[in-house]
Amino acid sequence: MGGKKLQNQTILITGGTGSWGRALVARLLEEEPKEIRIFSRNESLQVEMKQEFHHNPKLTFIIGDIRDKHEIMQACQQVDYIYHLAALKHVPICEQQPDSAMKTNVLGTQHVIQAAIKHHVKKMIYVSTDKATHPSSTYGMTKALGEKLVVHANLRETSTRFVCVRSGNVLGSTGSVVPIFKQRIENGLDISLTDTRMSRFFLTIDDAITLLLKATEESRGGEVYVSKMPACSIQDLAHVLIDELATEPIQIHETGIRPGESLSEALISEFESVHSLNLDDYHYVILPPYAIEGLHEAYASCIPVDFHSYDSDHALMSKTAIKDMLQKGGFLQ
């Protein structure tokens, strides 16, 4: 990013104590910002993170909940950029408590948008998920609504720009499949898999943060940025981890698909592919189906995509490629 855009800026990260937030903070500190505010609900994670960053004076920790409009309004004073990461993201939990998912992922996002507009924030970057593309779960539906709110906010009378990034599964993020499988293998326990046909998109945390910074630097407002990322069979992923890490025989047991879970994910739907463009070798951009001033013109030179939808069950990685990906992410040590 060359340090120009975020140098001496005040940045707010909602839900900043998770794996995305920590990696983002590490990268943002290289940009020499004025202040990074980490806004989240979990006190003990904030204490841990404070120690992890050696009590860096540029980091300010704020206990708060995006469900509380007053708290997020206060946290946004004099802020230049917002990274909105806070969400309820575990599919089974959102299925059991759809009201909570709605409050955090939809109303909470609306509160962040309102706070950004009120305090003349330059840009808000919303982190979405492939589960928002063809939502089969409460989580996916609430994140899809969040995307709609963020893109639509660019039609308001405001100088603030709003942009989405849509990501697959970040390798090794909190509570995700790789650390869970790895821990079971290391303890000599069998692995449970809901369905052996399941496939998912994966990217490394570094690629995820690069996507966020690209959106910060280049977006006009109203786009959804999507990384071109590999997909793999979860069963193949489990086999590679077993082959590489197991010291005794480990079995894979199929337990049956959970409520709201889908066999594959899509990063771009059939409806969206009509408005999707090749941005560069690593990214696509989805434009909204309605006009936002200057937006479509800005991408006039980009080539439209040549697919109907971008799904995780097409062109799956080989086991060798999965092994390389896990090695790069540091999961086979």
Residue 328 annotated to the active site: no
Q: Which of 89, 131, 182, 323 is catalytic?
A: 131
State the Rg of the chain over Cα. 20
Rounded to an integer, what distance in angstroms lies between the CA atom of residue 275 and that of residue 144? 17
Rounded to an integer, what distance in angstroms lies between the CA atom of residue 285 and that of residue 314? 19
Rounded to an integer, what distance in angstroms lies between the CA atom of residue 301 and that of residue 304? 9
Please give the span between the terminal C-alpha atoms of the chain, in angstroms, as a whole number: 31
The first and second tokens of residue 203, run together, are 């990217």
Task: Specify whether the CB–CB gap between 113 and 150 falls below 8 A.
Answer: yes
Q: What is the DSSP string of 243-301?
A: HHH-SS---EEE--PPTT--SS-EEE-HHHHTTEEE-SSSEEEE--SS--TTHHHHTTT
The first and second tokens of residue 77, run together, are 């004073």
Starting at the edge strand found earlier in the chain, the sheet holding 169-170 runs: 169-170, 199-203, 231-233
Task: Specify whether the CB–CB gap between 252 and 243 falls below 8 A.
Answer: no
Q: Give the CA distances from residue 311 to residues 199, 223, 265, 269, in Å, rounded to whole numbers and listed in that order.
A: 9, 20, 6, 8
The first and second tokens of residue 222, run together, are 């109203």
Sign of CA dihedral 193, 198, 200, 204: positive
Task: Specify whether the CB–CB gap between 163 and 149 falls below 8 A.
Answer: no
Q: Find the helix or strand (DSSP H, E) in which 95 lies.
A: helix 91-96
Active site residues: 131
